[in-house]
Amino acid sequence: MPELPEVETVRRGLIPAMEDQIIARAQVNRPDLRWPFPENMAERLTGKRVLRLRRRSKYILADLDSGETALIHLGMSGRMLVSGDPLGQFVHDHPATEKHDHVVLDMDNGARITFNDPRRFGAMDLFATDGADTHPLLASIGPEPLGNSFDEPYLVAALAHRNTPMKAALLDQKTVAGLGNIYVCEALFRSKIHPTRPARKVSKDRLSRLVPVIREVLRDAIEAGGSSLRDFRQADGELGYFQHSFDVYGREGAPCRTPGCNSTIRRIVQSGRSTFYCPTCQR
């Protein structure tokens, strides 16, 4: 499932084609994805101007001039692809409609935005913009890791009494927004924190150092266009490249990249998910 860097990469790719543009025609080709689409979604989108594209955790939010916000969740295999952009930033012409093109937005600037989702675990919703903070999918999400409210004192306080393993604590979206399996593994490696160590037993100094490391990992991944492991594509259809920079994720049995370390990367399973770490560097 796309994590914060992948979603942020898609959002940035959509901005030139969508932001401050009018949706000339919205086409909805099925009644649902993971959940039913909101009532009259095509009609509520058609003719509306996209005022701003923003991101909250792993969700893209398009604020419209109608006072509503469109929420887009990519799920496991969802893609937001752009074609026909008149600014010349995307080289693809409008392709023929495919089986899994579930929502198509034709913009008044000539761009087309296609939400393609073969597995249909993605979602879209429409709700009043001023009610975003109470939306069921957004209400309990923690601070954005690249935002000012995610800082050293916050993380220390949030984990002070948590007996859950560090990896599980960081995957909890109530603790911090948008982190997923890949980037938690990478951040814990860079911070030299063992993924199974109880969160409350990690010292304040180590937690304080973890905050800038999380930001560094996310920024590196965004700069590389995210990670393409199976289905992820950027808005122009290109792959992300951060997977070529993984220190631990997916590298079971490979040598640790820390200079002077002779260990190999190990894999364990935590809560049904693979965790990759170095048994020597991470304590």
- pLDDT number for residue 76: 83
Residue whose C-alpha is closest to residue 33's, from 142, 118, 110, 146: 118
216 part of the active site:
no
Q: What is the CATH number of domain 152-277?
A: 1.10.8.50
Helix (H) or strand (E) holding 170: helix 166-171
Stated pTM of the model = 0.88
- pLDDT number for residue 225: 66
- pLDDT number for residue 102: 96
- pLDDT number for residue 213: 97
136 part of the active site:
no
- pLDDT number for residue 222: 87
- pLDDT number for residue 246: 86
Distance, CA of 10 to CA of 237 (rounded, Å)? 10
Q: Which one is catalytic: 3, 6, 8, 186? A: 3
* Pair 212, 169: CB distance under 8 Å: no
Q: Which one is catalytic: 48, 58, 79, 112? A: 58
Please give the CATH superfamily to which domain 4-134 belongs: MutM-like, N-terminal (3.20.190.10)
Distance, CA of 90 to CA of 18 (rounded, Å)? 13
Place of tokens 């952009």: 85
Q: What share of the chain is helix, strand, coil (3-state, %, to 5)?
A: 30, 25, 50
2 part of the active site:
yes
Distance, CA of 161 to CA of 181 (rounded, Å)? 22
Q: Domain-by-domain residue ranges, the chain?
A: 4-134, 152-277
Show pLDDT as tens, one digit a residue, over the chain (283 residues): 678 888 998 898 899 899 999 999 999 999 999 999 999 999 999 999 999 999 999 999 999 999 999 999 998 888 888 888 655 555 556 777 888 999 999 999 999 999 999 999 999 999 999 999 899 999 999 999 999 999 999 999 999 999 999 999 999 999 999 999 999 999 999 999 999 999 999 999 999 999 999 999 998 888 876 654 444 444 455 544 345 578 999 999 999 999 999 999 999 999 999 999 999 999 9
Helix (H) or strand (E) holding 119: none
- pLDDT number for residue 223: 80
Q: Which one is catalytic: 16, 204, 273, 279? A: 273
Q: Which one is catalytic: 2, 143, 145, 195? A: 2
Distance, CA of 266 to CA of 177 (rounded, Å)? 27
